[in-house]
Structure 1
Amino acid sequence: MRGQMWPIEGLSKARRIKWDAPQNQISWAYMKELREHDKTRRVYGVNPYIEVYQFRDNLYSLFHPNCDGMGDVWMHLIVGPEKAMLIDTGYGLGDLKGLVDEITGGKEVIVVNTHDHFDHAYGNCRFGRVYCHEYLVPYLETQHEHMWDYLFDAFGNNIWLDFDRKDLPVFQKYEILGVPDGTTWDLGGGYEVELIFTGGHAAGHAAYLDKHDRILFTGDNICSDVSGCGSVNITRGNGPYQECTQLSFYRDRVKLLVDRMDEYDYIFPQHFMLNLENNLMPNILEALDDILADPANCDYKIESWGKDRTVKNERFFKFVKGFSVIGYGYKPEGK
């Protein structure tokens, strides 16, 4: 396997061929210890690709090896008294719905997305209905039957992850329900989960606040590897809501989350380290303020070249006190 990390002997049927980019040492050490020794880990026969971890009495986190060589993915399943909620759907590899039904005992499942990226929303079509922030709807509507093709080379061979192609979903249209910031679902008996719009990593990005277990599920804006949560003065991607990917927009949403810290104790991202303590949030806010005050004053930057080798790209990085780094786009004046 090409890459800098020693292989992890996890339980997933999928096997890594190569990485697109290596992960940092701290995140990899955490994942190796968890996936090889956690006492709750198991794989259900209905879906041998997904490793299931029980982190609370009613919280199951589903580990999904990333099919395209980027960081492996967490999906989070909250089982309430009457209904369940699945946060993100990965690539949909294997019988994801069957797995969720087995864990929940067949309860009604509310499926929600943090954002539209491949590794978080390509399994949506396994379900008939998905909720998301209203800004995310036009991005999810672009999904189609060939969206998994890039995982294979011209000869049909897997590029990054070894799995059976027939175990990917057959795409079918599903209902996409966009909802406003602050929408709350009751999973029974007052067990509430709230959508909190954040922007940053993607235009319609949202976090989800489990008010019962006092957990904030933050999607991809927070990550122990690299937190990619926006650009200072570069418009990324296409679509009607790209202003939400500006670092200044995300900074204001983080300030809101800092002000609401009395409502949650722990942070569960969708990649790498979980169960982070809420006192991380003021440190993220401080780093964002430092970036916006002087974007060029980064801790380090990485240069890369576009596919045609004519355009040089720069990505800037700022350390978060006691945590990892924020990666951001920035174009200095005159460049």
Structure 2
Amino acid sequence: MDNFYTDNMNIREIDGFTLQLVSKNVWAIDEFGIDIMYLIVGTKKALLFDTGIGIGNIKNVIKELTDLPLVIVNSHHHYDHSGGNYCFEKIYAHASAIPVIQQQNTPEFRKDFFLSQEARNEYNHRASLHSHITCINHSELIELKEEKIFDLGDRTLEVLFTPGHTKDCICLLDSKNELLFSGDTIVSTPTLLFDSFSDTAQNYLNSITKLLSYSNKYNLIFPGHYLRPIGKNYLKDMAICLKEILQDPDIGKPDSCNMALGPVYYHQYRLASILYTKDRCI
């Protein structure tokens, strides 16, 4: 465990992106408040987990940190995690994510999504959404298999399929360094389970149970948004939160979210919380 940095002020900026060294050779890259990408550097290769919405110049950021060959992986299809794919030639994604990413790769979708982001409270306006609104490129999308191993040299990353927030979510496990990179499978704010936007609560519970079965292989979880890292005990709270919703879908308090088609409900158990529509409670 001597590879962990305890100084949370270990922060720098490159081209407006805020970077924090969160473990040895692991950078959290905050894209103007909207999302967090992770650059994981080995001795032979580096891996970028997610490409963000695609504002600013993420390639310049990477070049400042490493000149190693770069592997790109999308955690799921949502555009705040795959909108920067245009910067790269090849991207790995789950098979279910690939057709959705391809469908989203249009000027119309990108424009509508970018305009929707301007109202986000998290967006710090230090880069212009409008200056990158027309960036489209036909990158090669490569199907990810369950338990695929990315060998970066002195560290490996294992792909874990974790449907829930979406039906194509994955996590990356660095068991040697006891780290889990969770995308939106685990975040420190409510997980969103909406309509056909998401998988069912039962399948999400199955994914949480799966991650708990690996819990002797990681101690810290690095999410795609908000506070990081998250302690692995959070998963136990999430499992109970899901079980309570499945037992009684009416347990949640009415809430709101403009991303959902139907009525939204909020339920919290200790640290974990979920925003859900009742059609997901099967």
Contact 1:49/1:93 (<8 A) preserved: no
Contact 1:129/1:174 (<8 A) preserved: yes
Match of 2:45 in 1: 83
Contact 2:44/2:152 (<8 A) preserved: yes
Instruction: Give a deviation string over 1:104-146, Cα, whole Å, max 9, x none.
Output: 1x11111101111121110011000000112211111111233
Match of 1:329 in 2: 277
What displacement does 1:168 show?
5.2
Letter of the 1:262 counterpart: N
Match of 1:194 in 2: 158
> What is the alpha-carbon distance in structure 2 between the residues aligned to residue 87 and residue 332 of structure 1?
27
Contact 1:145/1:171 (<8 A) preserved: yes
Aligned pairs for 1:147-186 within 5 A: 147-150=109-112, 151-152=114-115, 162=125, 163-164=127-128, 165-167=130-132, 170-186=135-151
1:53 aligns with 2:20: yes
Aligned pairs for 1:9-20 within 5 A: none
Letter of the 1:302 counterpart: D
What displacement does 1:221 show?
2.6
1:214 aligns with 2:162: no
> What is the alpha-carbon distance in structure 2 between the residues aligned to residue 118 and residue 274 of structure 1?
21
> What is the alpha-carbon distance in structure 2 between the residues aligned to residue 184 and residue 264 of structure 1?
16
User: Whose Rg is larger?
Assistant: 1
Gaps of 5+ in 1: 1-36, 67-71
Contact 1:43/1:49 (<8 A) preserved: yes
Higher helix share: 2
- TM-score between the two structures when normalised by the length of structure 1: 0.73
How many pairs were matched up? 267
What displacement does 1:289 show?
1.1
SS in 1 for 2:52: coil
Aligned pairs for 1:169-318 within 5 A: 170-189=135-154, 191-228=155-192, 230=193, 235-237=195-197, 245-298=199-252, 300-302=253-255, 313-318=262-267
Question: What's the % identity of the aligned pairs?
Answer: 23
Gaps of 5+ in 2: 1-6
> What is the alpha-carbon distance in structure 2 between the residues aligned to residue 318 and residue 77 of structure 1?
33
1:92 aligns with 2:54: yes
Contact 1:123/1:169 (<8 A) preserved: no
Aligned pairs for 1:124-143 within 5 A: 124-142=85-103, 143=105
Contact 2:111/2:134 (<8 A) preserved: no
Contact 2:46/2:70 (<8 A) preserved: yes
Contact 1:87/1:114 (<8 A) preserved: yes
